Amino acid sequence: MPVSVLAVDAGQTGVRLRLQTPEGNSPEVEFPGVRTTSPLGPQLAGMASEVLREAQVDPSGVVLAIGTSGVADVKGLAASLRAELGEPGKGPREIVVAHDSISSYLGALGESEGVVVAAGTGAIIFGVGSESTARVGGWGYLMGDEGSGFSVGARGWHAVMRDHDGRGPATALTEDFRAEFPDLESAYVTIQGDRDRIRRVASYSRRVTAHAATDDVARGIAQWAGHELAVSVAAAARRVGLHDTVRVARLGRVLTDPTVQEAFSASLLADIPGAVIVEPAGSGLDGAALLAGLTPGSALHSAVAHS
């Protein structure tokens, strides 16, 4: 039986799925982002089942390849998905699970050596050397997503409230944020009570970077984000033994801002003069599809779980 691949790129902002059959690729399907505070197995299994059902494809001929955020135990998630979807013959022929840092890397640079920095709602950096891999950052909004949309949005709010209290410098962000919350002192109650508060806070990063060209406070936040991401890239490169010419690919909305980009490039080249910033070859969804065919024994293959 010809094998099809259901590729899944699961993030906190959204989940994208694409079924690749011997006849070609189906259109991408998008679901709301995964809730990292709830078990991932049932969430991802439900999405995969819906896509396969709508496509009228026999799951036994499908490899389910998933790159997802919010997972610390990929083997446990693979086992959970197998329990949810059924054993081979009834469920997917094979289930392959990796952290989305790996699928993002594969989409951007394939199996070659280098470093990929992905900065969206969260931020994570992944390096691949000849014999090892290294993950830097991506420890969640409480423990370390420096340079992420969440961190930029949160710093924007910190600056606004410091301005409001008289503890910090004036910033144009205050009036911008006040357009949504005329009573700024009520904002924290509303946002902290929002079940989607992580993505909501991250959304304010767009407002911060929009003011970076004209507001000193916003510029400082954007430059901080670029510097933090560059520090993490350099750390990942050192950990996998890359010291001279290092290929670096950037993913995610945060690094599309000119001020963040400029700070990132300057900090990176100061630390690794031989760094070469390259355009990613593809997306995290493309990388998820590649999980199904990783070279056995490679550094990346060892970081992936199969069921």
Average pLDDT value over all residues in the chain: 93
**Does residue 254 register a pLDDT over 90?**
yes
**Does residue 42 register a pLDDT over 60?**
yes
List the Cα angle 193/195/196 in 5-degree steps: 115
pLDDT digits (tens, 9 = 90+) for 280-303: 999 999 999 999 889 888 888 888
Secondary structure class of 72 (helix, strand, coil): coil
Q: What is the mean pLDDT of residues 177-184?
A: 97
With a pLDDT cut of 70, the percent of the chain lying above it is: 99
**Does residue 64 register a pLDDT over 90?**
yes
**Does residue 81 register a pLDDT over 50?**
yes
Band of residue 1 on the pLDDT scale cut at 50, 70, 90:
very low
Tokens at 6, concatenated = 């259901």
**Does residue 22 register a pLDDT over 90?**
no
DSSP secondary structure letters along 85-149 = H-SBTTB-SEEEEEEHHHHHHHHHHTTSSEEEEEESSSEEEEEE-SS-EEEEE--HHHH--TTSH
Residue with the larger pLDDT of the pair 60 and 219: 219
pLDDT at position 2 is 57
pLDDT digits (tens, 9 = 90+) for 110-149: 999 999 999 988 899 999 998 899 999 988 888 889 999 9
pLDDT at position 302 is 84
Q: Which value, to the nearest 10 degrees, does the dihedral of the CA atoms of residues 130, 70, 141, 286 take?
A: 60
Q: What is the mean pLDDT of residues 205-230?
A: 98
**Does residue 50 register a pLDDT over 80?**
yes
Band of residue 24 on the pLDDT scale cut at 50, 70, 90:
confident
Secondary structure class of 28 (helix, strand, coil): coil
Q: What is the mean pLDDT of residues 137-163?
A: 94
Pairing assessment for the beta strands 14-21 and 62-68 based on DSSP bridges: unpaired
Q: 55-59, 90-94, 139-143, 156-160: which has the highest mean pLDDT?
A: 156-160
pLDDT at position 256 is 93
**Does residue 53 register a pLDDT over 60?**
yes
Band of residue 11 on the pLDDT scale cut at 50, 70, 90:
confident
CA distance 42 to 306: 17
